[in-house]
Amino acid sequence: MSNVAVIGSQWGDEGKGKIVDWLSSRADVVVRFQGGHNAGHTLVIDGKVYKLHLLPSGIVRPGKISVIGNGVVVDPWALLKEIETVREQGVEISPATLKLAENATLILPCHSAVDGAAESARGKGQIGTTKRGIGPAYEDKVARRGIRVCDLAEPDILKEKLERLVTHHNALLKGLGAEELDHEAIFKDLQDIAPEILSYADIVWKTLDDAQNTGKKILFEGAQGMMLDVDHGTYPFVTSSNICAAQAATGAGISPRHIGYVLGITKAYTTRVGAGPFPTEQENEVGEKLGTRGHEFGTTTGRKRRCGWFDAALVKQSIKTGGIDGIALTKLDVLDGFEEIKICTGYELNGEKIDYIPSGQQAQASLKPIYETFEGWSESTEGARSWADLPAGAVKYVKHIEELISAPVTLLSTSPEREDTILMQDPFSL
């Protein structure tokens, strides 16, 4: 049996929540390995809706261990609020079921303050950050001035580190014309929540090593999507962490050899939140129809998502750079009733045809999609649970996607409900 890593193959919002929940019923341990509370996963279980941001999707399933790895940046107040919210929905959460890496970096008020001030100062050049402090926290981590979960257990060290950190950020805030912060106040607030946060602190790499050695099945849950990867995405309109499967090992403290099968969650069309290039975007009735039928609003921000046709060239690139073995195709039912459906197979750039997203910012903005057009289907795919339930046109569409991206469709999702899933291969058995 293989461990499984789940990552997004587009710009995020591909429907990872449902697929991870579906897979978590087969796993023993579920691990978040990158990102922060800018991520948003929506789970629908027995008609009840759970909106998760920091908590791994396995938290809603009894008997599972949920892990927040060292690759995640953690807003401790947001975490405690989310724990409280999910508990109010009847979910039991305790240090026995939730493990927080002691070496995970914390997001503090100075990070969100700098994030918001810097984004506002960019004016028309904004990159679409959620202003939740994710980027500045990762910057501090790399610059070796970050505050980590383990620092909460050492008040004297914490106070010293915090004073240096806030002094650094106050200089930035002053330069941006924003209000400066008081490190003493932040220290006091951290002291108030330290006991509860530390109750979840864990040596995660050892926990995962023990799980691996005892034959437990581990599910690694990614956030965002490959086109937001800080190295391989549409830079600078990206997140501040790596999304690729290799990050599952680094962000959890486990050998890459133990990752196993990598499942790329892929929407049957394309969406994007915030600024940045989007070659297949449809700023017309098609885009509006996709957005309305797909309920395309961000789980975390509530922002309306930009919508467009499926981009096979983009997904194929994500498969190559992200280490994806097969995809889970989601929201196929949103395409029901379209008279014609288009798939982008490549681009035109300065008069030349290319089959990849280039790295240059101006080149990315200049891409013109090359489309293949398919006849749509009038029958409904919603709730289909077998190939026999799908219209012939939908089957043809899915099969052609497999050819274009050079990867199999392992799972097919036809509604937000967990059971409305067509399984071609069980990733845990591959």
User: What is the distance between the alpha carbons of residues 411 and 294, in angstroms, rounded to a whole number?
Assistant: 19
Apex 322 CA angle, 319 and 326, nearest 5: 45
* Burial profile 56-90: b = 16 or more Cβ within 10 angstroms, e = fewer: bbbbbbeebbbbbbbbbbbbbbbbeebbeebeeee
User: What is the distance between the alpha carbons of residues 232 and 251, in angstroms, rounded to a whole number?
Assistant: 17
Three-state secondary structure call for residue 183: helix
289: enclosing H helix or E strand = helix 285-293
Contact 416, 382 (CB under 8 A): no
Contact 39, 223 (CB under 8 A): yes
Q: Which pair of tokens denotes residue 336? A: 């029901």
Enzyme catalytic residues: 13, 41
Q: Which pair of tokens denotes residue 334? A: 């949103």
- In the numeric block, the tokens 């790295």 are attached to 359
User: What is the distance between the alpha carbons of residues 429 and 408, in angstroms, rounded to a whole number?
Assistant: 15
Phi, psi of 223 (to 5 degrees): -120, 160
3-state secondary structure 11-52: CCCCCHHHHHHHHHCCCCEEEECCECCCCCEEEEECCEEEEE
Q: How far is Cα of residue 217 from the mean position of the Cα atoms in its chain?
A: 21
